[in-house]
Amino acid sequence: MGPLMLDLEGLEINAAEKDMLQNPLLGGIIFFTRNYASPQQIAELSQAVRETARRDILIAVDHEGGRVQRFREGFTNVPAMASILQNANDLAEAKASAYRWGSLIAIEVQAVGIDFSFAPVLDLGDEISRVIGDRAFSTKVDEVIELGREFIKGMNDFGMAATAKHFPGHGSVEADSHVDIPVDERPREQIISQDMRVFAELAQNYQAVMPAHVIYPSVDKQPAGFSELWLQDILRNQLSFDGVIFSDDLSMKGAEVVGGYYERAKAAVTAGCDMVLVCNHPQEGRELMSEFDFDVDSKSAERLARMKGQSLNYSLTQVRQGDNWQQLEHDLQLDKMV
């Protein structure tokens, strides 16, 4: 499976994208709101991507809930993850709710032919962060661990691999890496014992991780997603993580410190990423595809294959009509056993 994940410009595949989809370096496509008109349309687009590629290809979406939900009409309105605990009577009730939302996202997204959503966010919801905020389950480490574990279990139980983001934690820095180059000046010990502890505790639960375009000078001068120290020494060796490492979008401002797109991709792959993303810049993405000439980890294809979604015999309409969650979960569990 190829090491690049790119995107499409509209509701259908155009002529240039047909050639792109048939390039063996392309291993994945990520959908955005511009690609969506209805559940039927996005399901047809998913099928068209697979037929055009003529091979296994991963299809992904950012479908977390709250302000990061690419598909709206026809899909369940998923709340921001911070609201789960805020609206619960206690942690036990919040954990049950986190499991249900993880399950529902997995079911709805896979029902339209998409393999996985880039979720959950395991960052801390510190008020200082402009980009994380209510995308996080909580401001407290232990609560993020407990709710994150249940959300991941919900996804996994219904066939979807979970992608933890943004390692080792983006929630305690003010700048937004989409438009800035964030620098977290805290001591190494504080980063490791607080933000990263969530990722460490759940390292054997999630199947993939997306590192942050954040520089942590007390650990390394490079952003985490381009750092062999973060990805190899800490994530792979110390945390014994053997899942997929996806780069965050290489077109983000936080990635510019490495150089152009070729330099960014090479740095990410050299650091340990299995697949790199270029979003919303089709020309740059195709140019990178033509220039890509460096080796990836021999285990990457095997890891990426584990991200394939499952076909559940449950339609999107049936899921959305499942007002009684307890009965819906019972039905879905039975469906999994068939």
Hey, what amino acid is at 168? Answer: P
Q: Which of 178, 180, 281, 331 is catalytic?
A: 178
- The closest alpha carbon to 153, from 196, 118, 103, 91, belongs to 103
Residue 28's alpha-carbon distances to 69, 246, 252, 301, in angstroms, are 19, 11, 18, 12
DSSP state letter for 272: T
- Whether 274 is a known active-site residue: answer no
The SS3 assignment for 227 reads coil
Hey, what amino acid is at 151? Answer: F
Residue corresponding to tokens 């008020």? 127
Residue 270's alpha-carbon distances to 108, 228, 261, in angstroms, are 35, 7, 14
- The closest alpha carbon to 244, from 216, 276, 218, 217, belongs to 276
- Whether 178 is a known active-site residue: answer yes
CB count, 10 Å around CB of 313? 9
Handedness of CA 146, 148, 151, 157 (dihedral sign): negative
- The closest alpha carbon to 62, from 86, 23, 96, 36, belongs to 36
Q: Which of 7, 126, 220, 248 is catalytic?
A: 248
Handedness of CA 234, 236, 237, 238 (dihedral sign): positive
Which amino acids are annotated catalytic?
178, 248
